[in-house]
Structure 1
Amino acid sequence: MLNLIYPYRNRDLQRLKNSFESLARQTSKEFKVFFIDYGSDPKTAEKVKKLCAAYSFISYQYCFTQFQPWNKSRALNSVIKTLESGFCFVADVDIIFHSTFVEKAISLQETDKSLYFQVGFTSEKDKIRDISENRFHQYRKSTAEATGLTMFPVEVLKKLRGFDEFYHFWGAEDTDMHARIKNAGFQLEYFDKEVLLLHQWHKSYRASETQKLSRRLQVQGIVQINHQYLKLAIQQKKTIINQNSWGNILSKADFLQLEAQPVNLKLTNEKAKIQAFLYGELPGLENQILKLRIEKSTFEGSGKFRLKKIFGKKVPEYYSLKEINDLLLLQVISFYRDKPYIYKIGADFKSIEFAIKC
């Protein structure tokens, strides 16, 4: 038996259907799919749930994390910690499986050995319906540096407490896991004897990063931060992580409670006020729900403010809302990611709302 885990949020349904159809054609039916919808918007979630229901081998689960940053590690861990034994494969919604993939993957299973697979990449002009399986090997291929598509013994992942949940947005969680597997003395092998997986072309998601405030939660420079964190993990030869908890996802009850909570703290974008909250107020929260709303000061940019600056009078310093977004989100994912929380950017991009239960 092979357990395939799909982490997902707000992605194209046609590519997803192509992937599911390739699984429906498998020569071995000894597999099941755990589809983790990590906070798609309600309309997309309803469509995806309906699509998953058309395939008997798929178990769909919705997570109430639409107002949290993308965290592939936590999505995966939420399934891994429930598996009793056997093997699991980290899937991708863009992957087309060769019809013999499951059969061959099962034949390659060895206790304590993780196996990751070479993949072929289609181009923008390729049409999936026109691709025959005997052409998989003709496409540009990944190298051993591409670590995302791996089959793991469940017991190995459990011993290491899953994927590192520090990695948010676009991370290096797959490479981190490979490094920790090797550090712990378990086997890891790259399979490139034949191409059994094909990646459907799409625009780079990292290219969508912006220096402006976005309702699609982002932190500027997070890719570089994640890769520096990975370097430190490799240097320190880390093995077991997520010391406090792992795989615990915001519950529906906590989500609804946080949504219903009225705002009980309002701040402007004045630097001193934001710093006092981040480094004084937030660490001291205990046994309460805080809902914070941050808005741009009306004094900043006013005629009085400009006059004071002209005459050298002391005036407050201000962060932009984008700077506050990056500071606050980094603080949250670093130190409060195990707490129930939600985070929103106002529809007019003039406010930030953050609620947390401590």
Structure 2
Amino acid sequence: MPRLTAIIPVRNRSGTRLRNCLASLRWQLAGTENSSENSTEVLGDELEIVLSDFGSDPEHAASIVALAEHFDAKVARNEEFGDWNRSRALNLGIQHASADYLLCTDADMIFAPNFVSSILEVHARRPRQALVVCACSDLPQRVPERDYALSDFEWLRAQADRRKSIGTGACQSATREFFFHARGYDEAFVHWGSEDTDMRDRALAYGLELEWISDRTEMFHQWHPTSRYSRLIQNRKNAIRYFFTRHQVVKNLDRWGNLG
């Protein structure tokens, strides 16, 4: 059984950025030489990857399947073609996860080679008590979009700029039990919402404590054009919903993902 499932929501992303994300999850190094139950050593079959394909068009869907086969990942395909809903895409992936601990992230990240072992170390030390989060650094537009290998990591680190805003997105790791109790991310956040910040506050209300791993590992966001600010009215609606419901642990009362 895997110890950690990484869940990556995607729609029409099947190129270089996703390949880099998957490659970086597969270049994870052993955290220790001890293979005991509480070890942070990462073996291939202990890290499960779920690509939650939220309505990609046929060309991209086929490429996502090919990438999944190459990097030994699972695809959770859902035929939804309306507005992008990252919360719902994450929830569909959560429901296909097998591990006791989950990592909810994004398709445009590159992870340090000790990233997964750093998450597992927290969960081994504080079982079922932590929401593991990490600050993000940005790779600027001048960094070429191409496939990167582990040998490129130090060069990427030298190019990256740490975000001034710490944030808690692209790395939220807690128990599968917690995500199922909360009924996943709030699917009322449409397009780009406040789903990560909302989940942070709900996890705190549930009784989890934030554990930052930014002092021991890193993750880089690969530059790309964004549509995050293209629907300001919807973003405002999301912000209002977040303000009034952020301490409500259980959401999506009628349905979440594919579950009632």
- What TM-score, normalized by structure 2, do the two folds share? 0.82
Aligned residues: 236
Are 2:253 and 1:243 aligned? yes
Are 2:201 and 1:186 aligned? no
Are 2:109 and 1:95 aligned? yes
CA contact (8 A) 2:7 2:103 kept: yes
1:125 aligns with one of 119, 142, 145: 142
CA contact (8 A) 1:120 1:195 kept: no
3-state secondary structure, aligned to 2:75: strand
Deviation at 1:137, TM superposition (A): 6.8
CA distance in 2: counterparts of 1:136 and 1:96, whole angstroms: 10
> In the TM superposition, what are the counterparts of 1:159-178 in structure 2 within 5 Å?
159-178=181-200
Deviation at 1:138, TM superposition (A): 6.1
CA distance in 2: counterparts of 1:17 and 1:83, whole angstroms: 20
CA distance in 1: counterparts of 2:254 and 2:106, whole angstroms: 28
Are 2:44 and 1:34 aligned? no
2:13 maps to a residue whose letter is R
Match for residue 73 of structure 1? 87
Match for residue 205 of structure 1? 227
Are 2:209 and 1:196 aligned? no
CA contact (8 A) 2:8 2:93 kept: no
Are 2:238 and 1:226 aligned? yes
Q: Which deviations, in whole Å up to 9, do the C-alpha atoms of 1:174-197 show, x marking residues without a partner?
A: 111111111222222232213421
- Rg: which structure is higher? 1
1:65 maps to a residue whose letter is E
- What TM-score, normalized by structure 1, do the two folds share? 0.61
The CA RMSD measured in Å over matched residues stands at 2.2
Give 5+ residue unaligned stretches, structure 2.
30-41
CA contact (8 A) 2:4 2:99 kept: no
CA distance in 1: counterparts of 2:111 and 2:177, whole angstroms: 25
Question: Measured at CA, do residues 82 and 124 of structure 1 come closer, stay the same or move farther in structure 2, by a change above 3 Å?
Answer: closer
Give 5+ residue unaligned stretches, structure 1.
210-218, 250-337, 339-358
Match for residue 7 of structure 1? 9
CA contact (8 A) 2:138 2:221 kept: yes
Q: Which has the higher contact order (CA 8 A, sep 6+)?
A: 2
Q: After the TM superposition, which segments of 4 or more aligned residues of structure 1 sit over 4 Å from their partners?
A: 82-85
3-state secondary structure, aligned to 1:4: strand
3-state secondary structure, aligned to 1:108: helix
